[in-house]
Structure 1
Amino acid sequence: MHPGVTVEPEVVTMTNNSHHDVIVLGAGAAGLSAGLVLARAQADVMLIDSGSPRNAAAAHMQGFVSRDGMPPAEFLSMGRQEICGYGGTVVSASVAAVTRRDDDWITVTLTDERALEARALLVATGLTDEIPDLPGVRERWGSLVHHCPYCHGYEVRNQEIVVIGGPARAMSLKQAGLLRRYSDRVTLVTNGIEMTDDETRRLEKFRVRIVDGTVSRLIGDTGTLDGIALTDGRTVGCDAAFIAPRPRPNDGLLRSLGCAIDPQTAFVAVDAAGQTSVPGVWAAGNVVTPSAQVISAAGAGSSAAIAINGWLLDQDLNRASAR
């Protein structure tokens, strides 16, 4: 998190009989955007967040028009304040389980065994980047070691950049090509990636240097990066490094509800508005779209909120008509 910026959610007293129109799990960009739309629409909305944002290690977020360069923690704090200003609630807690009752209400059970109920649920719990277990990577993650050229490429322009091949093979190769827009000194260390002749030719013609070798560790004093050490004793100098981690969606709660899985992506399947196969359950942001940046995750949250509000309205009209 950015030094000096704390995120203080509103603390509320919850009982086992707490009922809400919508519960949003996750108060990142997608969850906050949804919460704001729903609170302004006069829905009783509660956001529950465990306080582990994906971009906590980054000093700034980029590419969000009017918020470019803002510290992520400041963005989250402002979003929470806006939602609470419209009557929404943000609480700091972890969720143990989610169940859908026979009457279609959804029960959210917290790890302290408190239970909350909602007519609709939006899951915006994001994903976890599975960072390679290489000495020197984790302590530099988000500052000198990055994963997204769109988020951090501009900040390392004209520097000597090394792309470390990883389990996300296709993204590693794409990183090397994308980063050539920012620097004419880009090296791809294969690190176990078996490249085809065509892949090698295309990148080399694009003036990406390719080093076939396995990375053993990153070199440099604390807060610096001097290069990459290979297992055969060679070193590759650099000022910044990029790695494509494997994205692991935090979708256990969605799967426990029986939400259908997209066979192509292996992520939970949603429609254009984020609705899952389970009635009353939506999902938005990185939990279902790993490539979503902050601004696109926020847009997905907004779209889901509008769809949820329309769904609630339809239920209300049906109930009123039945009476």
Structure 2
Amino acid sequence: MTNEHGKAGYDAIVVGGSYAGLAATMQLVRARRRVLVLDAGERRNRFAATSHGFLGQDGRPPADIAAQGRREVEAYPTLSWQEDLAVLAEKQGDAFCVASASGKRFVAHTLILASGVIDELPDIDGLAERWGRSVFHCPYCHGYELDQGRIGVLAVGPVSMHHALMLPDWGQVTLLTNASFTPDAAQRAALAQRGVTVEACAVARIVEHAVVELTDGRRLAFAGLFTASRTHVANPLPAQLGCAFDEGPMGRYIRTDETRETSVQSVFACGDVARTAGNVAFAVGDGAMAGVGAHRRLMFGRG
């Protein structure tokens, strides 16, 4: 979208209308900047019934938090919202052009990438349908509600040591190595010191709420399970624009500076797409910083 003089129609395009994108948008519309949000409508935590650990919103359904955020930013007259998927972005002079799946094109001086990540889950029968319900990735988000019960950690590799050593603060932990990871002597000692039991038999499937059936026929019942997903940036725009990436323990994420600006000037990134791990509170904080960073870039130039 351009005006009759061919200049950018927006000060900023925010790709992704979830928590990080909403927080970034709020800073910009309150600075009376023209902002377009392009949102495909798929939040990463859409499977979870409640969200925890976000001050002032603890225990609320994630969809309700996002809906409230959208209502709040839509109260500002400089906001435009398109329910559409951004599929292509390119630099055009001192602006950026973004094309959507519906064939529309929009132009802005700055971009904020907040489209999140896709979780690649361990290939265990019964896990995917329990993701966000009785199988989790973040102890801070879901550990307290397990009421100090039995907790299983489904190993995917050495990164699962982190889960296994953290989770005893929330319950009685069993590390299910599942042929994905074999702790060495030092690691076994660290696990034992934290009271973690190690189960080496392979997992056949997950049934009921959080019952793990092992290949030897045993059934282990847990209050909840934790595992680490492999994450992938959900949108092709960062790669198209040439943004630099860093490699984290769960997958690649966009490299940013302290203002959340990427390696491409005037392109910012926030939320799960630009950090190794996250939750709603982190996403909102990152988004607020990205919005402020984009506003500073708009004010003080792109030179």
Q: CA deviation at 1:262?
A: 3.0
Q: CA deviation at 1:166?
A: 1.4
Which amino acid in 1 is paired with 2:223? D
Contact 1:127 1:290 in 2 (8 A): no
**Partner residue, 2:258:** 272
- Return the alpha-carbon distance in structure 1 between the equivalents of residues 23 and 74 of structure 2: 13
Deviations 1:194-250 (A, max 9, x none): 211111111012211111122110122xxx33x211223333222211111112222
**Partner residue, 1:159:** 149
Q: CA deviation at 1:40?
A: 0.6
Change (3 A) 1:245 1:264: closer
Deviations 1:37-82 (A, max 9, x none): 1001000001111011000011111111111111110111111111
**Partner residue, 2:185:** 197
More strand by share: 2
Structure 1: gaps of 5 or more residues = 1-14, 319-323
**Partner residue, 1:5:** none
Contact 1:146 1:242 in 2 (8 A): yes
SS of residue paired to 2:140: helix
SS of residue paired to 2:253: coil
Deviations 1:16-54 (A, max 9, x none): 657111000001111000101100100000111101100
Q: Does residue 180 of the first structure (1) align with residue 168 of the second (2)?
A: yes
Deviations 1:259-298 (A, max 9, x none): 1223677422110111111121111110011312211111
Structure 2: gaps of 5 or more residues = none
SS of residue paired to 2:169: coil
TM-score, normalising length: structure 2: 0.92
Q: Does residue 89 of the first structure (1) align with residue 80 of the second (2)?
A: yes
Q: Does residue 26 of the first structure (1) align with residue 16 of the second (2)?
A: yes
- Return the alpha-carbon distance in structure 1 between the equivalents of residues 75 and 286 of structure 2: 22
- Return the alpha-carbon distance in structure 2 between the equivalents of residues 283 and 272 of structure 1: 11
Q: Does residue 74 of the first structure (1) align with residue 41 of the second (2)?
A: no
Q: CA deviation at 1:311?
A: 1.1
Percent of counterpart pairs with the same letter? 33
State how many pairs are aligned. 295
**Partner residue, 2:42:** 52
Contact 1:251 1:268 in 2 (8 A): no
- Return the alpha-carbon distance in structure 2 between the equivalents of residues 65 and 237 of structure 1: 32
- Return the alpha-carbon distance in structure 1 between the equivalents of residues 186 and 163 of structure 2: 17
- Return the alpha-carbon distance in structure 1 between the equivalents of residues 130 and 244 of structure 2: 37
